[in-house]
A and B are shown apart, each in its own frame.
Chain A
Amino acid sequence: MLKKRKKTEDDKSSAYDKITEQKTLTAAPSLGNTAEKTVIGENISIEGNIRGDEHLVIEGSMKGNIEMEKHNFTVGSKGRVEGEINAQSVRVSGQMIGNIKTKGKVEITKEADFMGDIRAKSISVEDGAYFKGSIELDREPHRKTALTGKSTTIATSQPINEPKTPMAKEADKEN
Chain B
Amino acid sequence: MATSTGPAHSYSNTGPSLTDYTSMMLQMYFEALDQSSMAQVLDVGPVCEENITFFAQRVKRFHVCDMFLRLNRNRREGLPSKKMWKHLDYAPHSFDGINLWDFIDHINDDEIGRLVNLCHTLLKPKGMMIVTSFEEQSAPSQINSFVIQDSYRLIFRPQNHIDLPWHYRSNRALTNMLSEFASVKSFLYRNGVREFLCKRD
Q: List residues of chain A with CB under 8 Å of any chain B CB.
A: 110, 122-137, 139, 143-144, 147-151, 153-154, 156-164, 166-168, 172-175
- How many residue pairs link A and B with beta carbons under 8 A? The number is 129
Chain A interface SS verdict (over half)? loop
Q: Within the complex, what minimum Cβ distance (angstroms) separates A48 from chain B? A: 29
Q: Are A156 and B87 in contact (CB under 8 A)?
A: no
> Chain B contacts of A149 at CB under 8 A?
150-152
Q: Are B54 and A147 in contact (CB under 8 A)?
A: yes
Per-position binary interface string of chain B over residues 158-191, scored 1 when its CB falls under 8 Å from any chain A CB and 0 otherwise: 0101000000001110010000001111111110
Among A134, A150, A163, A173, point to the contact of B183 (Cβ < 8 A).
A163
Chain B interface SS verdict (over half)? mixed
> Chain B contacts of A160 at CB under 8 A?
171, 186-188, 194
Q: Are A127 and B48 in contact (CB under 8 A)?
A: yes
> Chain B contacts of A168 at CB under 8 A?
171, 188
> Which residue of chain A has the shortest Cβ distance to B88 in the bound complex?
A132
Q: Are B151 and A151 in contact (CB under 8 A)?
A: yes
Among A123, A127, A128, A172, point to the contact of B56 (Cβ < 8 A).
A123
The reply to whether the CB of B64 lies closer than 8 angstroms to some CB of chain A is: yes
- Report the separation of the CA atoms of residues A143 and B55 in the bound assembly, to the nearest whole angstrom: 12
Q: Are B151 and A134 in contact (CB under 8 A)?
A: no
Q: Are A163 and B182 in contact (CB under 8 A)?
A: yes
Decide yes or no: A135 and B62 within 8 Å by CB, A154-B24, A157-B188, A173-B190 being known contacts.
Answer: yes
